[in-house]
Amino acid sequence: MQEGQSIVEVLTSSSQEVLTRWIALQRETVKSTTSAAMEDKVRQQSAEFLAALTSAVKNGGAVAITGPAWTPVRELLARISSNRALQGFSPAETATFVFSLKQPLFEQIRRRVTAADDLAQETWAINKLLDGLGLLTTEVYQKTREDVISRQRAEMLELSTPVVTLWKGVLALPLIGTLDSERTQVVMENLLQRIVETGSTIAILDITGVPTVDTLVAQHLLKTVSAARLMGAECMISGIRPQIAQTIVHLGIDLNAIVTKATLADAFTIALKRLGITFSGGNESPGGLDRKIAEAGA
């Protein structure tokens, strides 16, 4: 008897039985398929997969899953698997989709094949086939999750480095979260680009949201400040919390070359002073204040 021959027979002659049994098994093992909509989906996916599998074993043989005849099966399985990964199925639940097909197929084959040798051979063929498909499912699942993670990472990178204009010629960069090399690179590029675009002469790096400052983070900050200076803009660092000031001194980091301020407001005041803009009084109407600033700027 040729290896994998009986699976072709099973799939062609009693596919309906296999399908019914398979769906029942999936319902038992996977908890997420309890809702009616989900069950419909599983039923549809199972039928589709079984149809594709049948045509694949007929045309491409049941030995390896690599041939061109298996392409539709692989594509279908990849689609199902990545869908499930996005919907939050666990890896086990996703792999079970394929592995739970084993039992109905074994049952069918045991009914047809009586010789012990043949039975073992056919069981092995099915095992090999479904294990291959199961591994493919897991691989696609993993890849989909990794794609999700890398996309979120990219989004976070973008979200975490906004450059805001505080005044004409004054930029602020509120840094939030730990600074690693990759983030610093993005921060630096963004800041320098905005300096060129806006022609700003002063940039304030606010590190209120940076939880810890170690030598590496300090080095990254110093690099950013140096690069901005090379382009002709002055950089200040603000939002230095008392603990961070202590850490900086204990680590022996030299920030003497840079203007450092405790709060963004202090840094902003210095920036305005450098630009020759002064404020006076707190009780004036906004219009009055504007006029004063306009006069100072002129």
Partner 1 sequence: MERIPILKMGELLLVSIQVDMHDRLAIQLQDDLTSQIAATSARGVLIDISALEMVDSFMGRMIANIAAMSRVLDAETVVVGMRPAVAITLVELGMSLPGVRTALDVERGMALLAEEMGGVRHGTAGR
Pattern of binders to partner 1 over 245-274, x per CB under 8 A? ------------x-----------------
Tokens encoding 106: 């074994």
- 201 makes contact with partner 1 (CB under 8 A): yes
- 215 makes contact with partner 1 (CB under 8 A): no
Toward partner 1, which CB reaches closer, 215 or 246?
A: 215
210-216 long-range Cβ contacts below 8 angstroms, 24+ apart: 210/175, 210/176, 210/177, 210/178, 210/179, 210/239, 210/244, 211/177, 211/178, 212/178, 212/244, 212/247, 213/244, 213/247, 213/248, 213/253, 214/247, 214/251, 215/251, 215/253, 216/181
The residue type of 67 is G
The CB-of-234 to partner 1 minimum distance in angstroms stands at 10
N-terminal to C-terminal alpha carbon distance within the chain: 98
Q: Which of 18, 56, 109, 192 binds partner 1 (CB under 8 A)?
A: 192
Toward partner 1, which CB reaches closer, 56 or 163?
A: 163
Toward partner 1, which CB reaches closer, 103 or 226?
A: 226
Q: Which of 188, 204, 210, 248 binds partner 1 (CB under 8 A)?
A: 188
- 193 makes contact with partner 1 (CB under 8 A): yes
Toward partner 1, which CB reaches closer, 11 or 203?
A: 203
The CB-of-226 to partner 1 minimum distance in angstroms stands at 4
Near partner 1 in 81-120, by CB under 8 A:
none
Q: From 145-153, 189-197, 210-218, 245-253, give the range in contact with partner 1 by CB under 8 A.
A: 189-197
Rounded distance between C-alpha atoms, residue 233 and residue 236, angstroms: 10
Rounded distance between C-alpha atoms, residue 256 and residue 240, angstroms: 14
Residue 69 has a CB neighbour count (10 Å cut-off) of 15
Q: Which of 199, 209, 288, 297 binds partner 1 (CB under 8 A)?
A: 199
Q: From 89-97, 156-164, 198-206, 270-278, give the range in contact with partner 1 by CB under 8 A.
A: 198-206
# binding residues, partner 1 (CB under 8 A): 19
Rounded distance between C-alpha atoms, residue 241 and residue 179, angstroms: 16
Q: Which of 196, 249, 265, 294 binds partner 1 (CB under 8 A)?
A: 196
Toward partner 1, which CB reaches closer, 112 or 229?
A: 229
Toward partner 1, which CB reaches closer, 199 or 288?
A: 199
Q: Which of 239, 169, 168 is nearest to 210 (CA)?
A: 239
Toward partner 1, which CB reaches closer, 128 or 223?
A: 223
Pattern of binders to partner 1 over 218-247, x per CB under 8 A? -----x--xxxxxxxx--------------
Toward partner 1, which CB reaches closer, 104 or 169?
A: 169
Q: Which residues of the shown chain bind partner 1 in the complex (CB under 8 A)? A: 188-189, 192-193, 195-196, 199-201, 223, 226-233, 257
